[in-house]
Amino acid sequence: MQTIVDPEHGFTFGEAMYSAGGVYGPLRNRYVTLLLVHEGTAKVTCDDEVTLVESGECGVFRNERYVLFEYGDSKRGRVSWCEGYPGILTDTIALRLRDVPAKIPISDRLEALQRLGVELGSGSAANLNMLRNALGQSLYAAYFHEAQISERDRHIPRPVHRARNYIEENSEKDVTIDAVAELVARTPQHLISSFRKHIGMTPARYLWQVRAKRGHHLLLHSGLTVAEIAYQCGYKNPYHFSRQIKQHFGMSPTEVRTNMGYHKPSEVAEDTIDIAY
């Protein structure tokens, strides 16, 4: 990512409202712009390519000769951006960029990083510049990370998407293949076959993987007992949970906590002394 945006020149964050459309540009200098369209639409002409970015979408535009932003005049528009100067692209990075989608949905992560950047304002204190540049680097890295995920998911059929999302959101419940198949209007056999083809495993195995990952997270980041975590994650008993953790992570729940730096939260740790500051 550092070759896409030149970190030496820093990043600029901004936002604007358009009550009846608007135009920004044309700009003749070379820029890299991450544009987020929160309301309305934006027609972006970047060199010889035209992209329509709609509400709830964002895209990165790296122009060599010319860039023009035109905002629809049919309704109010609200956009924000993070821009910088292009870095030197290696052949490898240039090839990777060609595979990145022209636009992706604005995720909560992108929205939060962009909002932090805008709230910093335009001050030029040294520490403020360092923070702004760190946010810019993080925002672009997050964009390309999520663009890769978006491109990969673009080839997954919608029923498999829906089934996977349902499993992830309901993993603590008693999820059955028949129920998931009915939800996405497919037979259990068809769902299993499609899931294995596009996700690389059966829905049942994916469910146990989601439960194990959630259990692993709770082992390291909560004060719950192993039994409490097991039941919260949808396991029928702690013994099954322990076997699954061992299978997925090569350690028992106790070993996970011992070997990976777990510390009890202060509210549950023994012999904790309240300190007033």
Assigned token pair, 265? 């939260």
Q: How confident is the model at residue 122 (pLDDT cuts 50, 70, 90)?
A: confident
Architecture in CATH for domain 158-259: Orthogonal Bundle (1.10)
Q: How confident is the model at residue 243 (pLDDT cuts 50, 70, 90)?
A: very high
7-153 and 158-259: same fold?
no
Sheet holding 41-46, edge to edge: 22-27, 67-71, 41-46, 49-54
Assigned token pair, 211? 């439960």
pLDDT at 274: 37
Nearest to 121 by CA among 135, 132, 108, 107: 132
Question: Where are the chain's structural domains?
Answer: 7-153, 158-259
The residue whose two tokens read 């998911």 is 153
DSSP 101-149: -S-EE--HHHHHHHHHHHHTTT---HHHHHHHHHHHHHHHHHHHHHHHH
Give the C-alpha separation, 226 to 224, whole Å: 7
Relative to beta strand 67-71, strand 41-46 is antiparallel
Mean pLDDT of 153-164: 82
DSSP, res 170: T
Task: Tell me which CATH code domain 7-153 carries.
Answer: 2.60.120.280
First to last CA, the chain: 42
Assigned token pair, 165? 């999302």
